[in-house]
Structure 1
Amino acid sequence: MSPLDHKLLRDLWRMKGQAFAISMVIAVGVGMLVMMTGLVTSLNETRAAYYERYRLAEVFAPVTRAPDRLVGRLAAINGVSSVEPRVVGAALIDMADFDLPVQAQAVSLPDLRTPRLNDVFLTDGRMIDSDHSDEILLLQAFARAHDLRPGDRINATMNGARRSFQIVGLAQAPEFLYTTAPGELIPDDARFGVIWMSRSALAAAYDMDGAFNEALLSLSRGANEAAVMDAVDRILDPYGGTGAYPLADQPSNQLVSEEIGGLEAAAVGVPPIFLAVAAFLLYIVINRMVQSEREEIGLMKAFGYTNGEVGAHYFKLVLAIAIGGALAGCLMGIAGGRALIQVYVAYFKFPFLVFQLDPASFVTGVSVSILSASAGGLLVLRSVFALTPAAAMRAPAPADYSRTGKMGRALNQWLDQPSRMVLRRITRQPGRMAGAMIGIACGMALSVSMITIYAGFDRTIDLTFNVVDRSDVTVSFTHAASEATIFELRRMEGVTLVEPVRHVPAVLRNGLATHRGVVSGLATDPRLNRALDSDLRPIALDGSGIVLSTALATKLDIAPGEILTVEVREGRQPILQIPVTAVAESLLGSPSYMDLAALNRALREPNRVSGAYLAIDKAYATDIYTALQDMPSVAGVSLKSQAEIAFQTLMNTGAGAIRYVMGAIAFVITFGIVYNAARIAYAERSRDLASLRVIGFTKGEAAFVLLGELAIVTLIALPIGSLLGYYLSFGIAAGFSSELYQIPAIFDPASYGFAAMVVLGAAVASGWLVKRDIDRAELVSALKTRE
């Protein structure tokens, strides 16, 4: 081992605390990149394997009632590889732990064979016996939410008839990863279930003997999906087909894709921000660290070492810290990804796990870390190498303070000697102070942006459930009913306000941009569920056009004044050309609104409603729920309080949960930044502080000279970091937002105050650690020249 390598090991041991802090800053940035990209890759691979193994259909074709003889015609379509007809229907399950019946979907399974498409994964019990019409499989997540097991019995209402069923097994299915009640966006295992029955039993319940009301299709390789769906629609239109749609628009897959897409957007947009901050801070740290080695560099050159040999020595030092941090980050990312993937697998209800890392994330993280560290070292070494050995070994000339004038004399009158030393240090080396200030400001910005995102999630919940939706109960009907149903609701005791609504499934088109969703017809002057502009003022629905949410307008690339094509997917299925009149602020889903009367006129179905929003007196809640159960036209009832809890759970357990991990990483980086600034300042001034002790300064006075500098730099960095954090929060908020929900970047004074407390806490902790070293320093050793 060469003498320079011996020196390298000694230097690493001497600065082990500082090297560890720098490595951790790198490690958390690399770890986040590896972890999040690994999560995205693993979830996508697991979903693809699950879909393939259980043969999830690629095209879904709902129809009112079609005879089984059409299956052959559907199978003969060019590009179709297999067809599975089935019966589906709405059901209501009576649960003892719920005041209201729980909505469910009943799905048929073939009597004497395994489904060609959309098979189920049996988790408990056995499969149903087609000879026993009362046997069912129940969705595992729903059963667990209500503590149901194979052998239990439940009562359910199907097609107006109340029946009793025996649960023989629990199952999962790729088409029910996300289960939401009709008309809702928020999944809740306790409030929506799935029942599988034999085809013969379910057909008898819904009067579908010899017929089906949904066809599932898989496509051959290279098939034209759009052409296949057009052919399917032509065959099923005479029988009440409502339009075939691809797997991409299947509700469960769409929501899963949005969640994974949100995580992917966060993985693409957020870790690079953290990594860029870490790289910039590393450059500042390496710059100051090499500058502090100025005399040692001159001594090595005096002994005959070339610039290349000295440069290689310091380059090894930089690489040791950077590679160590990058490798630690890779291991942290793998461990964090493996831990979180289990959470996501349970959240997405995958029955198995395909864990796979993204090799590109390792290459990117390690490369960025090494390159940023190398750049920091080489830039500063270049200036040092330009010096002769004698000049490098000589300390830099002190700054000239003879021209401070009246300001200097005024300060001398008010400040004691240690305070004047602090100010002289700051004014003597403004570049270094600015570097430390910018570094701490970046840490403050990361903390501000992440705490602001926490407030943004809370704002989404508050705006959705307390500002936009001010109802207590949402009622959905079995079909588009007359307004007489609304009058019946208004007559109920305890119902204080009723607002009719009509939800019409439709495909919205603007050029090549499309969205399969729902157009909601609201009352002219709604009070319970409103369309609001960006200033949270109600948007008037005057019947002249359609109002789109911000996310939907962005997706369709359309602005007010332009014409939107609306392809209705129920009834006569007209194609409407409607102008966009406004863009509404909505943080949940991608809704679109029209005046109820105008929507009914466009559909040529006057005075029709599909549901209602209710405000009720809580004292009459039980009586109201009982009355709603007895109404034959009511298909389901949703309580806003339960929906809010489900939405909170969604954002805390899905892709939004990663914000807590990122927040913790931001705090770690913030502490690492402040601690590094304090350690470097101490390394640069250890001899000066020892000299002060020798000439009579106390430990506290000597520490004040160093820590006073850190305090001033930190206080100056706080407002700069707050400003940077404000703009940084927009980028991070965009990374967390998806079509399912949008996270606003808002100015929350409490968030800024808390972030400031985090930075000040890191400064106090760092100052305490450094002061401990100052107090323990041996004066004779500190005053010696390090050679």
Structure 2
Amino acid sequence: MVIPLRTLDRKLIRDLWRMKGQVAAIGAVVAMGVMVLVMMSGLHVSIRETRRAYYESCRFADVFAPVKRAPRFLIDTLAALPGVSAAEGRVVGEALIDLPGLELPVRGRALSLPDMDGAYLNGVRLVTGRLPDPGNADEILLLRSFASARGLRPGDRLAVTMNGSRRSLRIVGLAQSPEFIYITAPGEVVANDALYGILWMGRRAIAAAYGMEGAFNEAILTLDRSTRLAAVLDAVDRLLDPYGGTGSYGRENQHSNRFVGDELDQLRSMSITIPPLFLIVAAFLLTLVVSRMVHSEREQIGLIKAFGYSDLAVGLHYFKMVVAIAVLGAAAGCVLGVLAGRALAGVYLLHFKFPSLTFRPDPRPFLMGFLVSIGSAAAGGCFVLRRVFALTPASAMRPPAPPDYSRTGGLTRRLDARLDQPCRMVLRRLLRRPGRMIGAAAGIAFGMALSVGMIAILGSFDTTVSLTFDIFDHSNLAVVFNDAASDRTLYELRSLPGVIEAEPVRSIPVILRHGLRDHHGTIDGLISPQRLNLALDAELRPIPLRPGGVVLGQTLASKLGVREGDILDVEVRTGRRPRLSLPVVGVAGTVMGAPAFMDLDSLNRALREPNRVSGAYLRIDEASASSIYRALKRMPSIAGVRVKNDARAAFRQQMDSGPGSMRYLILAIAGVVAFGVVYNAASIAYAERARDLASLRVMGFTRGETAFVLLGELAVVTLAALAGGTLLGYGAFFLFVEAFSMELYQIPTHFTSASAGTGAVVVLGSAVVSGWLVKRIMDRADLVSVIKTRE
């Protein structure tokens, strides 16, 4: 059964088709906001649920408890603790992988596989090949991402140094693990698949390599759902302390899980922060369009009411138009959000090592997208609908009162003698309709603000790379020692031919506590003043390291709820594992991470371990790099070497091709919004003046002169919007900074004039294209039919 359309519904369809350009422009703005909401919410759900399923299928541990050396019988005691459902002990050790063609060995980590068959904690997922034979000591599994980055496959052999002993090992299979969804070398924050390898061996083979026969150096546990984590951690630490326990920690502090969690928090923050900005712009545009439509259709509204239609029926007619545009935009946004989410799922799968990652749209963002779109559009439309209710048939069918042009103060008369006729027409339009011009300029300014904010974010990411590797780090190499070494090792490094300068550093793993808050991290001991590894605040000023206390980054200080002068409880998780009480002698805004700094001598005194270092930054003569690499390769005290250029490339890749690439998509969306706003302004101007412009053509004006009357107005309005767009963009930039920043890194709030200039170019380019499109419509218009059309 076909339900006939009512008269006003047929008018609604005709109006939407007549305004299809403006409908498309406003619908695009709505669509972009809903697209971001659906895409980011869907990615958040997809990554969260994929991680949960991966953890469950591989029995990922809830508690990790590293220890220096503990007997294996202690595992039964750990498993019997209240709330513990399973416990296993394993052997873990750092390794150096020597690959053909590389001057420096690659850092790696070796882990034991249990002797048992079947399911076990932190189970590996075999991708290709087979598991190592427990009776064959030279067989290993290799992490698939490292193997792919290095072109390795089952059957290849690796030269690996484990516990100072060089061994030749054969790859029998490639695997993945939930423990290594995001992989970085110890002390690094940026993943590089080619520079850190994970391998698994049979327990007996790896125990023999690290002197762990009958022992383990890490316990992993799973807990019952109702168990309180803090109580289990305390019990585990009490059991392992006599054997050199370095502090157990929960899954939330496991490095890979923590980074994925930070990414999920970022996606949630972006899905909350960014879509409302687009929808606010859309609501503003809808308000302008419907307001001007009501003004131009005064006589139609009066005539409709005179035929007996109620105020409510006429008001609902225009309200339906607002809702229809919002619904069309929201529907398009949902489709685009799913398509974009599927594309970005592939990007995330390259970055996070899940077995698979399928974009799973969450129904809630679809519903929310429609409701928020309709709600925001309706909120803007309600301001206009009051005018519909206020119009009576008699007053509506009379021409509106002529506008008062006395406010121009005779300015137009003074300029008439100096301007030609088209310029005078543009000037009079601007001065006699200031409210409309301001509204159009405000709409363009809102659209420009989104572009400026995202362009500034792009510049800030580039600034982060420059700060990290050019301003903070003046070295060429960074070396890490196996254990805290005496400063004699530093002298050995300085004596190598080609080493220009060597600067010591000591990083110790700690748990910082203040009241009920804690943070698992490190304290970095630095010399004063630094020359190669600089501690700088957000203003790029040296952070003073006053003796006797610790300086915290602002992010870390906020997390712990401390300020200068407070006392921190510090649990050192290495060596003798002392507990210290250290005053906070400074809080500084920082760019990268959540650091804690101390003067190196003060740190060593607090630990009662004088003249100790855990690593060094080197400035070298590049011509001697090869000989220095060979010398470092022979030094048994060195656990790994980081080449700054390699780290820079990895950081840039993560910013550009990993999840950081999201910002490019948001920038493209902001560009679409900017174009939609400008095109809408041009379309409104033409719709209002189509009859006047056609009359000019009939009077003898050329197409160029007629276009100048319209596009000159658009040009002035666009130029007037640039200043407001820059100011609003500055505010949008700070909102985006909050959305993109994580604990791992904070985006520097460095807003440059180049960002505003590029945003202005985007808007001006949109104005040129919009003007060309509107001019085409104007040139193709039938002058006779346009002139016959009543306003």
Q: Alignment partner of 2:187: what SS?
A: coil
**Number of the residue aligned with 1:501:** 505
Matched, 1:443 2:452: no
Shift of 1:741: 1.1
Runs of 5+ consecutive residues of structure 2 not aligned to the other structure? none
Shift of 1:403: 6.5
Structure 2 Cα separation of the partners of residues 381 and 691 of structure 1: 31
**Number of the residue aligned with 2:177:** 173
Q: Alignment partner of 1:149: what SS?
A: coil
1:560 pairs, out of 525, 541, 564, with 564
Structure 2 Cα separation of the partners of residues 786 and 403 of structure 1: 28
Q: Structure 1, residues 373-419: CA drift from partner, whole Å, max 9, x if none?
A: 22333322321332232432333233233564553332112222222
**Number of the residue aligned with 2:247:** 243
Q: Alignment partner of 1:131: what SS?
A: coil
Shift of 1:115: 5.1
Matched, 1:259 2:263: yes
The correspondence of residues 620-639 of structure 1 with structure 2, limited to 5 A, is 620-639=624-643
The correspondence of residues 204-353 of structure 1 with structure 2, limited to 5 A, is 204-353=208-357
The correspondence of residues 318-717 of structure 1 with structure 2, limited to 5 A, is 318-353=322-357, 355-402=359-406, 404-717=408-721
Structure 2 Cα separation of the partners of residues 417 and 40 of structure 1: 58
Deviates more, 1:743-752 or 1:142-151: 743-752
Shift of 1:484: 0.4
Deviates more, 1:541-550 or 1:370-379: 370-379
Q: Contact conserved, 1:290 with 1:377, CA < 8 A, in 2?
A: no
AA partner of residue 767 (structure 1) = G
Q: Contact conserved, 1:563 with 1:578, CA < 8 A, in 2?
A: yes
Shift of 1:585: 4.2
Q: Contact conserved, 2:550 with 2:598, CA < 8 A, in 1?
A: yes
Matched, 1:191 2:195: yes
Compared CA separation, residues 404 and 156, structure 1 to 2 (3 A) = closer
Shift of 1:533: 2.4
Structure 2 Cα separation of the partners of residues 580 and 530 of structure 1: 20
1:733 pairs, out of 737, 743, 764, with 737
AA partner of residue 407 (structure 1) = L
Shift of 1:131: 1.2
2:749 pairs, out of 702, 726, 745, with 745
Shift of 1:786: 4.7
Structure 1 Cα separation of the partners of residues 600 and 471 of structure 2: 21
**Number of the residue aligned with 1:161:** 165
1:117 pairs, out of 100, 114, 121, with 121
Shift of 1:58: 0.3
Q: Alignment partner of 1:414: what SS?
A: coil
AA partner of residue 365 (structure 1) = G
Q: Alignment partner of 2:417: what SS?
A: helix
Shift of 1:88: 0.5
Structure 2 Cα separation of the partners of residues 404 and 36 of structure 1: 50
Q: Contact conserved, 2:64 with 2:249, CA < 8 A, in 1?
A: yes
Structure 2 Cα separation of the partners of residues 381 and 239 of structure 1: 76
Structure 2 Cα separation of the partners of residues 567 and 278 of structure 1: 53
Q: Alignment partner of 2:193: what SS?
A: coil
Deviates more, 1:728-737 or 1:777-786: 777-786
Matched, 1:79 2:83: yes
Compared CA separation, residues 160 and 445, structure 1 to 2 (3 A) = same
Structure 2 Cα separation of the partners of residues 255 and 34 of structure 1: 23
Deviates more, 1:316-325 or 1:102-111: 316-325
Matched, 1:55 2:59: yes
- Count, aligned residues: 787
Q: Structure 1, residues 632-671: CA drift from partner, whole Å, max 9, x if none?
A: 1111111111111111112223332211111111000000
Compared CA separation, residues 681 and 67, structure 1 to 2 (3 A) = same
Deviates more, 1:507-516 or 1:725-734: 507-516
How high is the TM-score relative to the length of structure 2?
Answer: 0.97
Q: Alignment partner of 2:194: what SS?
A: coil
Matched, 1:3 2:44: no
Deviates more, 1:437-446 or 1:689-698: 689-698
Q: Alignment partner of 2:82: what SS?
A: coil
Q: Alignment partner of 2:170: what SS?
A: strand
Compared CA separation, residues 10 and 253, structure 1 to 2 (3 A) = same
Q: Contact conserved, 1:142 with 1:189, CA < 8 A, in 2?
A: yes
Q: Contact conserved, 2:479 with 2:615, CA < 8 A, in 1?
A: yes
Structure 1 Cα separation of the partners of residues 253 and 365 of structure 2: 30
Q: Contact conserved, 1:263 with 1:655, CA < 8 A, in 2?
A: no
**Number of the residue aligned with 1:772:** 776
Structure 1 Cα separation of the partners of residues 225 and 435 of structure 2: 63
AA partner of residue 235 (structure 2) = A
**Number of the residue aligned with 2:132:** 128
Q: Structure 1, residues 712-743: CA drift from partner, whole Å, max 9, x if none?
A: 11101001110110111011011000011111
Structure 2 Cα separation of the partners of residues 560 and 286 of structure 1: 56
1:23 pairs, out of 1, 24, 27, with 27
Shift of 1:682: 0.8
Q: Give me the CA root mean square deviation.
A: 1.6
Compared CA separation, residues 405 and 229, structure 1 to 2 (3 A) = closer
AA partner of residue 543 (structure 2) = I
Q: Alignment partner of 1:675: what SS?
A: helix
Q: Alignment partner of 1:190: what SS?
A: helix
Structure 2 Cα separation of the partners of residues 165 and 236 of structure 1: 32
Question: Percent identical across equivalent pairs?
Answer: 60
**Number of the residue aligned with 2:74:** 70
Compared CA separation, residues 335 and 404, structure 1 to 2 (3 A) = closer
**Number of the residue aligned with 1:201:** 205
The correspondence of residues 99-118 of structure 1 with structure 2, limited to 5 A, is 99-114=103-118, 116-118=120-122
**Number of the residue aligned with 1:152:** 156
AA partner of residue 204 (structure 2) = S
Structure 2 Cα separation of the partners of residues 508 and 290 of structure 1: 64
Q: Structure 1, residues 223-265: CA drift from partner, whole Å, max 9, x if none?
A: 1211111111111111111111111111111122122222222
Q: Contact conserved, 1:259 with 1:654, CA < 8 A, in 2?
A: no
Structure 1 Cα separation of the partners of residues 410 and 80 of structure 2: 96
